Structure 1
Amino acid sequence: MKFKSIGVFCASSPGFDSIWTQSAYDLGTYLAQQGITLVYGGGRVGLMGAVADGALAHQGKVIGVIPHFLNSKEIGHAGVTELIDVDNMHQRKMKMNDLSEAIIALPGGFGTMEELFEMITWAQLGLHQKPVGLLNINGFYDHLIAFVQNMVDVGLLNTQNRDMLLVSDNIEDLLRKMDSYVAPDVPKWLSREKS
């Protein structure tokens, strides 16, 4: 595996299905076993807490990045290797991007969607060449994947950019796809295909 660090965006809630918490823990475990540093949002609750706990339980390195206003509410994870305080949500994303060589989104709400789409937009614009993956646990992202395909079908997204979003329901398979990912040579605005 070529990655030394992977950023993970996910929910600060556990959701109603225990498979999401278990899968988050399993992802943290897998990253630790591969010697990959986990970079995440710094929380001790929900799927964020589970992915960090999975890595920490298997001697993994975990870097949390959390805004002051969230850390002050005592949801910061005190057990991580390093907890970085930032001023706001945008700085959190920037710092996580700086520290990560790849990105994975687990199930989440509005915050996770915003983070995922900013990361894939930056990739589309050629601002980074990192792979961006969706871990589609229990079909959580099926409707989103269909919606992205609809963007292509109506001519608002080209297939090259659609294919930048890597998807699997299996951790090892997703990491293999990310490991072999090659960013497009041509940024969005120079693409010959209609977007």
Structure 2
Amino acid sequence: MSDDDGMMVYDVELSDRETFHIGRIIALWGALEHELFVQTLMTFDLGTGELEKLPKKMNGIQFTETLDLWKERVVGAAEGKRREVLELQYERICFFQEFRHALVHGMWDWSKSDPGRITSVRINKRVVRRVHFTADDLEQFNLALQRINFRIRYPGGTADFAREAAEQGHYVSRRAVALLSGHPVSEDLLPPRS
């Protein structure tokens, strides 16, 4: 049976700009969850085959539990300016979590009076939650997540970044490999044109 049965396809009525930023937000949030999990995991002294000794909060099912452990074991162990930077990122992650939930778990609708405004509605613990956003809001959320992702990895800023780059040695980005090899994905990896 062919999937092409002549029926129309459904359109979620998002602009290319909205779609771009939503995709980036989802990818950046996934990168954030992964990084916090790995940083937290590294605080446990585990030998080979001892993953079963990890606390239940590290099962990866509830991000908020991993986030709590990250605050306790990573942020709590940091000192001075690094700790301040990580504490601020923790606060920002907590703040943006509701927006992430709205995007991922909400039912979307757009405003007839303002087609540029999207409303996400979801029910959580018997409470109806509504979050309104525009393409500009999505762009700001995308940028905020880029900053948070950088700062949780490099709380010392560009000095940390440069030190890690020097320790790792030579690195070639995905975009550079695609360009040098002539792979067609190279066009898709270019920044969006305004």
Does the TM-score normalized on the shorter chain lie above 0.5?
A: no
Question: TM-score normalised by the shorter chain: which range applies?
Answer: under 0.3
Per residue, is there more helix in 1 or in 2? 2
Question: What is the TM-score with the length of structure 1 in the denominator?
Answer: 0.25
Structure number with bigger Rg? 2
